[in-house]
Amino acid sequence: MSLHEPPAWSGSSSDPNDEQFGDVVEPATLDRAGEFDAVLVGEPYDDAVIGRRGAREGPAALRDALAGVKTHHFDAGPVESIGDLGNVVIPDGDVSAVQETVRETTRDVHAQDALPVFLGGDNSLTYPNAAPLLSESAGIVNFDAHLDCREVQEKPTSGTPYRQLHEDGLDAYACVGARHFETSTAYAEYVDEQNGAIVTSEAVGDDPAGAVDRALDAMAGVETVYVSVDLDVLDATAAPGVSASTPGGITTRELFEALRRVAADDRVAGFEVVECAPSLDTEGRTAAAGARAVAHFLTGYTEEHDD
């Protein structure tokens, strides 16, 4: 298990009444993780990206954006009890070796009594992030424009994590926000063969609550649920700073509502935000959306689990 020392956090407001995440997130060590409701873990890596690179700078950008977000949610009150374990030490080497090394660290993080929140980094690390949960029956709700279930050819990529997880025993899968004309027929058929659910971006726009219900229906019977947000699920206007930014995505409001609903499921055992590439961003929009995705998820999670 190898983690860099976590950064210091501070808020950006001069108003003492403006409590921000920067004021409440505490640097932490693994042996203190159980003192928090959730712990952040950065994963600065983008060597496996199929498209445009830049996601290795995502963890720093997401932390910077989150530090300035106020902690208050009108319905649930303030978010509290968040630790930061720092960044995973990413080794040099091919993608398979990186995935195996990262998996050793994520296994230790999952073993703690706190929700792990992984800040990516590219989508290839979804595999080691979620794989430790496969010792039980597990499912994944994936907010993504793409299904990311390509076959591994010479090496894993940001497009292969869910194929890898299925091959390791993943029991259930739902993709929420999938876009027409962004996925090959073969991969849609593969998800159908795995009895997975594909909920399109149009379906989310028509009925966000119903879209979440369809995703959770696909999780029937599993003991644990992992939740992934690839920021390319958002429309290009809201998230230009991703590897594959395209029109036709869901809105930030739809994503935030859906995340709060999913986070309230008492089987949730992990969360991630991936593919934030600051060098490709415009006015920090993508990092801002990703940071608020974390905030909304934590609100839904802590509201349910603190009862």
Q: What string of pLDDT tens digits covers the 307 residues of the chain?
A: 589 999 999 999 999 999 999 999 999 999 999 999 999 999 999 999 988 999 999 999 999 999 999 999 999 999 999 999 999 999 988 999 999 999 999 999 999 999 999 999 999 999 999 999 999 999 999 999 999 999 999 999 999 999 999 999 999 999 999 999 999 999 999 999 999 999 999 999 999 999 999 999 999 999 999 999 999 999 999 999 999 999 999 999 999 999 999 999 999 999 999 999 999 999 999 999 999 999 999 999 987 676 5
Residue 120 half-sphere exposure toward CB, CA atoms < 13 A: 32
CATH class of the region 21-305: alpha beta
What is the residue-wise DSSP string for 49-117?
-SS---GGGHHHHHHHHHHTSB-EETTTEE---EEEEEEB-PPSS-HHHHHHHHHHHHHHHHTSSSEEE
In DSSP terms, 271 is beta-bridged to 117, 227
Chain centroid to Cα 112, Å, comes to 18
Cα 278-273-218 angle, rounded to 5 deg: 145
With residue 249 as reference, give the H or E element that holds it: none
- Domain map (residue ranges) of the chain: 21-305
Residue 250 half-sphere exposure toward CB, CA atoms < 13 A: 33
